[in-house]
Structure 1
């Protein structure tokens, strides 16, 4: 056999080796994270529950999920050990303000649309807003002489034929 026929197999074996190596690294990092858990740490389980570590044993973790709610979990079910700031932000809604003297961004966009001009100047501007909506012109709503002429021209036309009538004789 030549090297050209063996090349795809060599590439496949190399890719499999790299994938298993990275998976083993991730498993080792997760195991180290779980072993470094201490009572008082905030954690997220693989099911998405947030709790505080109460006790850590060899294979299990006792979690405090609320007042009077203690849950026993396997260590492998801990998805992440959170920092105190991250845990308080997620669970209690407490933001740790690192930039206390920075500008506060408003929740709405009102500050983005404000201008330095007073409101009276904006109302008196020569720009007219154009209404692109289609309107039916009726005699009651004819506002200008041109609209009135259009309404009168429409009424002078012959009435439309119905299904029973035809122009052929």
Structure 2
């Protein structure tokens, strides 16, 4: 009976042990990653800034964020050390293995239908308004508004109508 009452506490303690163990493992991996930083490495800070490592010391990192912009960061503020390929892709937009032009998506949908609509119209465009079935009071012709007003009974003083 006493084992059943202690079972939830045993499970809770075991879960806490596993969580702290995985947190320590992630922390150790982050420390190793930061220790692998070398001048010239591309990094991303935990704030999302991309820069190149210029100098690494015990607790700080000097980053080159652009021409004439050098920033001193705490070493633990580095979120990721990037490969050269990944850094160039993100910062400079350089892709190393570009796909062929056949995989490029066109700007319009003409290639999806198989017909080229721009060739059929010869540059002329239809500027006719499209009737969506919704009428506004401003869209009614003046004659229709007058006819509507004539159909409604005219209102006058309540005394003259009552007599």
Report if TM-score (shorter chain) is over 0.5: yes
Partner of 2:153: 159
Q: Distance in 2 between matches of 1:18 and 1:47?
A: 29
Deviation at 1:113?
Answer: 8.3
Aligned length: 148
Q: Distance in 1 between matches of 2:9 and 2:146?
A: 83
Q: Distance in 2 between matches of 1:11 and 1:89?
A: 46
Question: Which 5+ residue runs of structure 1 have no aligned equivalent?
Answer: 121-128, 143-149
Deviation at 1:112?
Answer: 6.2
Q: Distance in 2 between matches of 1:139 and 1:57?
A: 82
Aligned ranges 1:3-152 → 2 under 5 Å: 3-92=3-92, 94-101=93-100, 102-106=102-106, 108=107, 110-111=108-109, 115=113, 116=115, 118=117, 119=120, 131-136=132-137, 137-139=140-142
CA RMSD of aligned residues (A): 3.0
Q: Calculate the TM-score normalised by the size of structure 2.
A: 0.72
Q: Distance in 2 between matches of 1:112 and 1:29?
A: 51
- Return the structure number with greater helix share: 2
Dislocated runs of 4+, deviation >4 Å? 117-120
Partner of 1:168: 162
Question: Which 5+ residue runs of structure 2 have no aligned equivalent?
Answer: 122-129
Q: Calculate the TM-score normalised by the size of structure 1.
A: 0.69
Secondary structure at the counterpart of residue 64 of structure 2: strand
Q: Distance in 2 between matches of 1:55 and 1:158?
A: 87
Q: Distance in 2 between matches of 1:27 and 1:117?
A: 58
Q: Distance in 1 between matches of 2:47 and 2:18?
A: 29
Secondary structure at the counterpart of residue 109 of structure 2: helix
